[in-house]
Amino acid sequence: MSGVLATSLPSAPARASFLPPATRSQLVHLPDVQPTRAIPYVITPERRAMLNTIRFAEGTWKGGFDVGYRVMFGGGLMSSLNRHPNRVIYSSRYASAAAGAYQFMPFTWDLVRRSLGVTGFGPEVQDQGALFLIQRRKALGLTDTGNLSPYLAAKLAPEWASFPTLAGRSFYGQPVKKYDRLLSFYNVNLVELRRIRDERRLELSQAAKPAVCTGSRIACATQL
């Protein structure tokens, strides 16, 4: 949970099941994509693998399906992504208003919204907000190395309670995912996401090449 004082959502053991590219958990940008005002953070395989791992840790992975962007604390789904729901949900032990794929608290989301100038609470905006928080924790450079080290996980622990500190505990004394589970999930994601990126790059390069005519000179001339 981002900036929380409540537990992260409970989740059963999950694995990185990969879905059609239309699913945001598989969406990555190609290297020639440049940051814009609307999309300040280009999503590389390394960054997407981290985003997916945060979702896994926070209990919003949902098999990689986009429904994870609608999850509220306690497991319920928000009906609209027009805005953060800002609704406190009570469980047997905790109360929290965390919502979205990265379990943003309302005050955290207000910071994201003001800092990035974004509107709505859709999947793309949530992805950008999570990357902003990673950068705010001075962890974006480490994320870009493609190595989820214990040190990197610990740098994110104050932002997401489900990430372990170097001592293996939650920064907030709440339920926490073990580092080894996060690392395994992250590595599987990273390999697959890099493969997807490379395949897309190859497809685009092949599409840009002119077709080679193998017929007679006259037949080929008619195709010019």
Tens digit of each residue's pLDDT (9 = 90 or more) over 163-190: 999 999 999 988 899 999 999 999 999 9
Residue 166 falls within a domain, yes or no?
yes
Asked if pLDDT for residue 7 goes beyond 50, the answer is: no
Residue 7 falls within a domain, yes or no?
no
> The CATH number of the domain where 30 resides is what?
1.10.530.10
Burial 21-36 (b: 16+ CB within 10 A, else e): eeebbbbbbeeeeeee
Residue 16 falls within a domain, yes or no?
no
SS3 25: helix
Cα Rg of the chain, angstroms? 20
Residue 182 falls within a domain, yes or no?
yes
Residue 177 falls within a domain, yes or no?
yes
pLDDT of residue 220: 59
Tens digit of each residue's pLDDT (9 = 90 or more) over 30-85: 878 888 887 899 999 999 999 999 999 999 999 999 999 999 999 999 999 999 99
Residue 15 falls within a domain, yes or no?
no
> Are the beta carbons of 196 and 44 closer than 8 angstroms?
no
Least confident of 19-28, 64-73, 119-128: 19-28
Residue 163 falls within a domain, yes or no?
yes
Pick the more confident residue, 45 or 17.
45
Instruction: Give the Cβ contact number of residue 107 at 10 Å.
Output: 11
pLDDT of residue 176: 95
Number of structural domains (the chain) is 1
Domain range for 82: 24-221
